[in-house]
Amino acid sequence: MKWILILAALFFSQNSLAIVDMRLANYSDTWTDLELPGTGYDLKVTRTYNSRSLYNGMFGFGWCSDFETSFAVQADGSIHLKECGDGRLTIYTNAAFSTSNVKRVVDEIVKKEASVTKGVTKTYIDTLRANLMLDHRQRQVYADKYKISSGAKKGTVYKAGGESTETLVLMNDYYERTFSDGTKQRFDLNGNLTHLYDKNGNFLRIKYSQGRIQIVGDNNGRQLSFSYYENGKVKAINGPGGISASYKYERLNDLSWVKSAWNNEYTFKYDELHNLVRISFPDKTFKEIQYNTNKDWVTAFKDRNGCAETYKYEFDKKDPKDHYWADVLKKCDGKVDTQARFEFWFKPKRDGTGKFLARSYSKINNDVNDVFYSDINGKPLRTVSNGKTSTFTYYPNGFLKERRSGNELAIFKYNTRNNKVSEVQIGKRKTVFRYDEKGNLTFAKSTEGQAVKIDYDAKGRIVALADQAKRVVKITYDSQFGKPAVVERPGVGRISVAYKPNGEIKKIDSDAGPTVAGQIASTFRSLLDVVSPAGIDLGL
């Protein structure tokens, strides 16, 4: 859909995201250094900085990439997978896992600790036991110390959250991670990511040499090659058509300079603790970050427009670890732009795997949101937004079953063959959905008369669609990048798109100007109106 809207916008008229997370008091920033769109997966290099991360990966201290997603089998038999090397944690457990697994490991740790530590007291042991039961990170540190381990069993299904349709299975010589939408990832026996597959068979393959990523290639034969400095940090990434990105470092581990594939140069400065304190852009603008280095908290942030934010953190004296809040003040040109408070509560999970975010509250100027979460799947059970309450119930696999907002009830049903939404009823309006064997949406129709039919090619790309008014749109694709080359409304006109060697749009021609762009956009908006109740992503 994004391509059609871009084309329409062109006729009618730096890749970065930043956030200071009040829950973790950290600054994060995501950058895309190189991107070549294609069929299925794009060839793309994205790196993310996290000020509270101790991860020292291929892009230096605090930086990670999606290619560095990995997992480790824990002593209690669970599997902990970290996105981006040290990002979001997903815990996988098998059907036999219970609190007793955790207790067994804790008992063994406590026994060994008591035997090797002189002068240990009962109070020390009791405190250690209580902490280890709740803190999986500390538990694994002690398990590694005393060489307590547990191996994964071949063929055993491990599920995310214990009841999710997202699974991880040890096959013969690799692990396979399967998502509810049919996409898959493969990992080697050491937990390193080696393959990504979409539901239509498109893939990325990651090849290693001496523990380093050397080649990332796709099913179309395109490749990215990585070169390194002696310390193992990325020096350059080269792709098809001469496209490349380059990197430099200070103090060995701090990424200090990047030249992207678009020939834009950026510089990064850090304090003595590897905290990123300044980012300079090609247009001479910059971002600045300040920290409480004793607590490792972000305390202030200045954006490229000169707006300044300050952060003040406070803790519940009775429960400082599990209840705290942050106040935010943002000023632009000396005037208050935003005042906000973010508050968080944590509780122990019932399965003994640690704690979970039980409630979050935010007030941003006059907008108030209060969210209560499930300890099973981490999803909202109840939200209160400016006084309006919504409640949510889920199937055992974690899929949304019902959503009630005021007097409106939405009911969701799913196709058991591919875990896709098969029916959504909101009030009196019902919409049904059908899919092909790969899980691509082929037909949708609502009781209000809206309908759409979609055809795909062998690579899972939309090649034709028609709505209830019999308006047809046909799409053919560029062979090099897999992007739309011709978008046609038969009988109305067509849009032709040419691309530069790096995949950027070079030229757009149309035999009907804004008229055809408007008709195409209108047809796709009809499509979105039909599929929006199910939240379906068509991948355009």
Q: Quote the pLDDT of residue 7.
A: 39
Q: Which long-range contacts (CB under 8 A, 24 or more apart) does 353-356 make?
A: 353/78, 353/91, 353/93, 353/102, 353/136, 354/91, 354/134, 354/135, 354/136, 355/134, 355/322
**How far lies 138's CA from each of 62, 128, 295, 296, 506, in Å?**
21, 10, 19, 19, 54
Query: In 219-303, which ranges are E strands?
Result: 223-228, 234-238, 244-250, 254-259, 265-270, 276-280, 286-292, 297-302
Separation between Cα atoms, residue 305 and residue 277, nearest integer Å: 16
Can you give the pLDDT at residue 293? 93
**Which amino acid would we find at residue 292?**
N
Handedness of CA 44, 47, 48, 54 (dihedral sign): positive
Computed on alpha carbons and rounded to an integer, the radius of gyration of the chain in Å comes to 26
Looking at residue 368, its pLDDT comes to 98
What residue spans define the domains of the chain? 95-145, 407-534
pLDDT of residue 48: 95
For the chain, give the number of residues.
540
Report the pLDDT value the prediction gives residue 305, as an integer from 0 to 100: 94
Per DSSP, the three-state class of 532 is helix
Alpha helices in 158-223 (DSSP H): none
Low-confidence ranges of the chain (pLDDT < 70): 1-18, 162-163, 512-513, 534-540
DSSP 259-275: E-TTS-EEEEEE-TTS-
What is the model's pLDDT at position 512?
67
Residue 142 near residue 111, CB atoms below 8 Å? no
Residue 510 to residue 523: CA distance in whole angstroms? 17
DSSP state of 87: S
**SS3 helix, strand, coil % of the chain, rounded to 5?**
15, 50, 35
